[in-house]
Structure formats: structure tokens, C-alpha cells
Amino acid sequence: MIVILKQNPNQAQVNNFIGWLHEKGIEVHTSVGISQTILGLVGDTSALDINLISALDIVEDVKRIQEPYKNANRKFHPQDTVVKVGDVQVGGGNLTIIAGPCSVESEEQIVSVARSVKASGANMLRGGAFKPRTSPYSFQGLRAEGIRLLTLAKAETALPIVTEIMDASQLPLFEDVDVIQVGARNMQNFELLKALGSLRKPVLLKRGLSATYEELLMSAEYIMAGGNDQVILCERGIRTFETYTRNTMDVAAVPVLKRLTHLPVIVDPSHSAGRSDLVAPLSCAAVAAGADGLIIEVHNDPEHALCDGPQSIRPEVFDGLAERLREIAELCRGASK
């Protein structure tokens, strides 16, 4: 249930009301906007008398909501959430481009890609240190050393770094990581989500291979329920009957999620397609559909990449694409950064 308060309500009456709700075992999340304050009531609200609440002096309107996610729900929080990563703002009309290799392979590789994508206007650097590979015989990532190399690339370029965590036990290694990525395979690793909920650090949450929008939002809710509201959602392609592409990019996810939630929504065209030749058209489609950003795999030598070479674009291709994406964002919403 959400309760929209009148403008400048009597604070003593608001506190009384909140105290009364607490006595009934209901948690209250307060969202203070520029012109309105909204109370999100979490718990069993079935016994609350909606007419009684509507009649209170301080109350403008009361709505029952069906969705099981509260913190992530746009009805609770009408304004876009803007996730701040250093000077970079994700959401709220900005276009954020995250670029870098699938995996960190060496100092030379990550620093070289970081410099190139920075020069092309990327806002953050990606690179996997812990890699969730389908085969245990494939390259598993440089792990702690990979994170160290990412921090070197950050020191060289000032780009914030984004990298994937696979288990909560790895958290001590993520101190200097700016955005912690939860991969598609871990979208419903609830213990990991709870651990990330206790941090005050941005989390990039990727949609599971066969997850519904509601399941993705419930996973975001796990993080937010712990008090960490800095969550960025990512559509990265879902499993369908099509085999030509690695996955199927669900472009509708962008406008649907942006309607359902106030959290920023970005798109990963690289894992969606699995093919470098499709990265540019899918990126353009994502931005035109209203995505707040993109995460794109860029490699200086895709033929010899240790992971996901076939879907990685070269720095010079990224350069042209980044410019086109900024133009599309400008055209579609008159705001690009």
C-alpha cells in the first residue's frame, strides 16, 4: 500500500500515523520528493482500513499495490533513481557507456583497452576477474590479480571499474571496485544479493537467462531491502528457441522495466547477440528504446581473446559506435552525457 501525503503535512500527525503503523507490524519507507512525500507500507496491509487512512487530515491519497516489490516500485518512488559512481551519474536522462574486455587478461591488455575506450568517451571500464564459465576447463579469470590490474587501469585513466562477483566470500577483494556486477547466472543467488544489500555501493544486476521482469525486480528488491538502493538493472538477452544468436535481446525490457521501476536500466548487446557484427545495431536499438546506458565488450585483439572474442568489438569500431549512440540519445530524449 502507498500513502501519498498532502503538501506540508503536520509532522506530529505524520509521526503518530507512522507509530500506529509500526504497532501493527508494518514497516514504513518514506520517499520525500520535491512536492510530495510518499509512504510505502511494507508488511501485511490486508487488515488496514483504506477508508480510515484516506480520511486522515495529512493524507492526499491511498493506493493498494499488487506488485510484490516495494522498494524497486516506481509507484513508491516516481522520480528516476540516479546512481552516482564518482562523477558518473547513471539514470535520470544520462547515457552511460561501460566498455572493456570480457575478461582481464594482462596489464598491457586492460590498460590499452581502458585508454582506448576512455578516449572514445566511455564512462566506465568493465573487465571480468572472476568468470562464470559454462565449462570448468575454460579460462576462469585472473581472480584477485584481475582486480589488481583493473585498479591499475583505473589509476591510469580515472575510469570507474565494473567487475563481477561470484560469491560473497570474494567481497574483501572488491573494496576498490566501483560497481559490483551480479551476473545472469547469479541473479537469484539470494545469499549473495543479501550480502550486497548490506553494502552502500552500486550493484549492476543482470537479468537471468530465463528470468521474468518480476523475478529481476524481486532480485533488486533483495538488495534494496538491505538498505542498498544503488541498483542498476541490465537486460543481457534471454534464452529463446532462436539459435542464430547466443541469446535474444529483449528490447521491450527497457520500456517495461522503466515503467515498473525507478532504477536505471542498461543493456548488454554483446552477451545478447554473441556476435560482434550485431553489437552496433542492437546498441542503437537499446538507446532508442530509452536505455540509460550500455555495457559493451571491447577487445584490442578479439581473435586471441581468452573469453567471448566472437562478440567483442575492436576499439576503433567502439569509437564510431559511441559517437552514434550519443547522437541517438540526443535525438530520442534531448539529453546525452
**What is the binding site for ligand PEP (CB under 6 A)?**
102, 128, 132, 183-185, 206, 236, 268, 271
CB burial readout 273-297, b (16+ within 10 A) else e:
bbebebbbebbbbbbbbbbbbbbbb
Query: Based on CB atoms, which residue is closest to ligand PEP, 33 or 132?
Result: 132
User: Could you tell me the smallest distance in angstroms from the CB atom of residue 184 to ligand PEP?
Assistant: 4
Binding partner selected for residue 105 from Mn ion, ligand PEP, none, CB under the kind-specific 5 to 8 Å limit: none
User: Could you tell me the smallest distance in angstroms from the CB atom of residue 18 to Mn ion?
Assistant: 46
Query: Based on CB atoms, which residue is closest to ligand PEP, 132 or 255?
Result: 132
Query: Based on CB atoms, which residue is closest to Mn ion, 91 or 302?
Result: 302
Residue 310 burial by Cβ neighbours in a 10 Å radius (0-12, 13-18, 19+) = middle
Query: Based on CB atoms, which residue is closest to ligand PEP, 29 or 185?
Result: 185
Query: Based on CB atoms, which residue is closest to ligand PEP, 217 or 238?
Result: 238
CA atoms within 13 A on the CB side of 308: 31
Binding partner selected for residue 132 from Mn ion, ligand PEP, none, CB under the kind-specific 5 to 8 Å limit: ligand PEP
Give the residue from 1, 79, 78, 82 showing the smallest Cα distance to 39: 1
The conformational region for residue 334 under phi > 0 = left, psi -120 to 50 = alpha, else beta, is left
Q: Name 283's Cβ contacts closer than 8 Å, sequence gap at least 6.
A: 267, 269, 294, 296, 321, 325
Binding partner selected for residue 184 from Mn ion, ligand PEP, none, CB under the kind-specific 5 to 8 Å limit: ligand PEP
User: Could you tell me the smallest distance in angstroms from the CB atom of residue 181 to ligand PEP?
Assistant: 6
User: Could you tell me the smallest distance in angstroms from the CB atom of residue 87 to Mn ion?
Assistant: 26
User: Could you tell me the smallest distance in angstroms from the CB atom of residue 189 to ligand PEP?
Assistant: 12
Distances (CA, A) of 198 to 26, 205, 224, 265, 299: 21, 15, 9, 22, 34
Give the SS3 label for residue 32: strand
Using CB under 5 A as the binding rule, the residues of this chain from 101 to 160 that contact Mn ion are 102
Binding partner selected for residue 197 from ligand PEP, Mn ion, none, CB under the kind-specific 5 to 8 Å limit: none
Contact code string over 292-311 relative to Mn ion, x by CB under 5 A: ----------------x---
CA atoms within 13 A on the CB side of 263: 33
Position 164 contacts Mn ion (CB under 5 A): no
Query: Based on CB atoms, which residue is closest to Mn ion, 187 or 224?
Result: 187
User: Could you tell me the smallest distance in angstroms from the CB atom of residue 100 to ligand PEP?
Assistant: 10
Q: Are strands 179-182 and 161-165 parallel, antiparallel or unpaired?
A: parallel
Count the residues in the chain. Answer: 337
Question: 3 has which bridge partners?
Answer: 39, 62
Q: How many residues bind Mn ion (CB under 5 A)?
A: 2
| Helices and strands, counts by H and E, the chain | 10, 14
Query: Based on CB atoms, which residue is closest to ligand PEP, 78 or 132?
Result: 132
The site for Mn ion (CB under 5 A) is made up of 102, 308
